């Protein structure tokens, strides 16, 4: 959902240069490099990271259990290094991503979750159609929620890798926060290779900031709870300045808020058009 300098299953709009994989020298934890370009130094880096995570407030027990046995994942690096950008016009992108079935399923979800969506709009000011449009485009209403990668392992691998180590270390710490506050165990945190979680593909830092327990069961569950998924998505938009009762078409403030969800113009326009359909505009 966030705008990143890599393309994930939901955003493939930014060209990433192919980088050669190297092999780092093995080091002790005290000498661990800040990052590496191969698996050799990963173990030492991980031990050093554990100390940094505890210093950031993650309980030692959570750090030990969540990171126990975590290894470098070359499949994640391969995907990061072999992304393919594509450029489509809005008409081409919309035709590829939106069809009668997606619209029909969206209308069904609008009816099924009508009460929840009404309560969400009352609390966050975001109309049901906007939230459901994002839900449909991100994961086909939860049917396609990622490739089953371990979020912790993927983020540890990317945090160690030198290409964007600082960004992904922040996301790795956030994934440990999710575990520490009891939202989900590490074993349940599975999703996209770049760390996307759940039915609207939150990265962990956004999960920590915007996920809400709309069901009231004490857990923020963006994988299995439709109510939490929809409310958290609305909360994200509100947190980025959504103006209740205002339009969301091109040129409006709310259109720019949707851009905080995804920077690609064709994606933003598709959300806006699909939301119009669901809202009967």
| 171 and 260 belong to one structural domain | no
Residue 116 domain-assigned (yes or no)? yes
Residue 13 domain-assigned (yes or no)? no
Of 169, 195, 221, the residue that ends a domain is 195
| 50 and 75 belong to one structural domain | yes
Whether the CB-CB separation of 202 and 184 falls below 8 Å is answered with no
| 137 and 67 belong to one structural domain | no
Q: What is the DSSP letter of 202?
A: B
Tell me the per-residue pLDDT of 62-116, one tens digit each, with 9 for 90 and over.
999 999 999 999 999 999 998 765 688 999 999 999 999 999 999 999 999 999 9
| 71 and 139 belong to one structural domain | no
Tell me the per-residue pLDDT of 10-32, one tens digit each, with 9 for 90 and over.
433 333 333 333 433 344 544 56
Region 206-223 average pLDDT: 95
| 270 and 177 belong to one structural domain | no
| 131 and 35 belong to one structural domain | no
How would you write 79-98 as a 3-class SS string?
Answer: HHHCCCCCCCCHHHHHHHHC
**How many separate domains does the chain show?**
2
Asked if residue 143 has pLDDT above 70, the reply is: yes
Q: Provide the pairing of β-strand 190-191 with 149-150.
A: antiparallel
| 157 and 265 belong to one structural domain | no
For residue 222, the domain's CATH number is: 1.10.530.10
Residue 5 domain-assigned (yes or no)? no
C-beta neighbour count of 19 within 10 angstroms: 13
| 99 and 152 belong to one structural domain | no
Of the pLDDT bands very low, low, confident and very high (cuts 50, 70, 90), residue 139 is very high
Tell me the per-residue pLDDT of 36-56, one tens digit each, with 9 for 90 and over.
999 999 999 999 999 999 999
Residues 6+ apart with CB under 8 A from 33: 24, 27, 41, 44, 45
| 153 and 270 belong to one structural domain | no
DSSP lists the bridge partners of residue 149 as 191
Rounded distance between C-alpha atoms, residue 178 and residue 196, angstroms = 13
Q: What is the mean pLDDT of the chain?
A: 89
| 71 and 164 belong to one structural domain | yes
Rounded distance between C-alpha atoms, residue 169 and residue 161, angstroms = 10
Residue 17 domain-assigned (yes or no)? no
Residues 6+ apart with CB under 8 A from 151: 175, 186, 189, 190, 191, 195, 197, 204
Per the listing, tokens 């790795």 go with 172
Asked if residue 127 has pLDDT above 50, the reply is: yes
| 185 and 77 belong to one structural domain | yes
Question: How many angstroms separate the first and last alpha carbons of the chain?
Answer: 25
| 152 and 136 belong to one structural domain | no
Residue 248 domain-assigned (yes or no)? yes
Residue 236 domain-assigned (yes or no)? yes
CA angle 62, 233, 183 (to 5 degrees): 20
Sign of the alpha-carbon dihedral angle for 115, 141, 232, 234: negative
Residue 70 domain-assigned (yes or no)? yes
The whole domain housing 76 covers 29-82+147-195
């Amino acid at each position: 959902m966030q705008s990143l300098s890599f393309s994930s299953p939901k955003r493939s709009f930014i060209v990433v240069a192919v980088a050669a994989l190297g092999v780092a020298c093995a080091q002790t934890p005290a000498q661990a490099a800040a990052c590496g370009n191969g698996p050799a130094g990963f173990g030492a880096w991980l031990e050093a990271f554990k100390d940094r995570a505890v210093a950031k407030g993650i309980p030692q027990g959570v750090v030990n259990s969540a990171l126990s046995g975590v290894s470098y994942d070359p499949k994640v690096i391969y995907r990061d290094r072999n992304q393919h950008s594509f450029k489509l016009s809005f008409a081409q992108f919309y035709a590829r991503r939106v069809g009668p079935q997606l619209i029909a399923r969206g209308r069904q979800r609008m009816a099924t979750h009508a009460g929840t969506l009404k309560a969400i709009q009352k609390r966050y000011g975001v109309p049901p159609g906007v939230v459901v449009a994002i839900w449909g485009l991100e994961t086909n209403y939860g049917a396609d929620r990622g490739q089953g990668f371990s979020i912790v392992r993927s983020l540890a691998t990317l945090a160690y890798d030198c290409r964007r180590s600082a960004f992904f270390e922040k996301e790795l710490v956030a994934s440990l926060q999710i575990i520490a506050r009891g939202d989900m165990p590490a074993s349940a945190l599975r999703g996209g290779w770049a760390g996307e979680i759940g039915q609207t593909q939150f990265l962990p830092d956004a999960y920590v900031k915007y996920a809400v327990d709309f069901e009231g069961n004490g857990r923020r569950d963006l994988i299995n709870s439709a109510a939490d998924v929809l409310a958290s998505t609305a909360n994200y938009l509100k947190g980025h300045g959504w103006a209740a009762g205002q339009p969301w078409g091109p040129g409006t403030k709310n259109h720019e808020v949707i851009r905080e969800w995804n920077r690609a113009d064709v994606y933003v326009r598709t959300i806006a058009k699909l939301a119009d359909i669901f809202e009967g505009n």
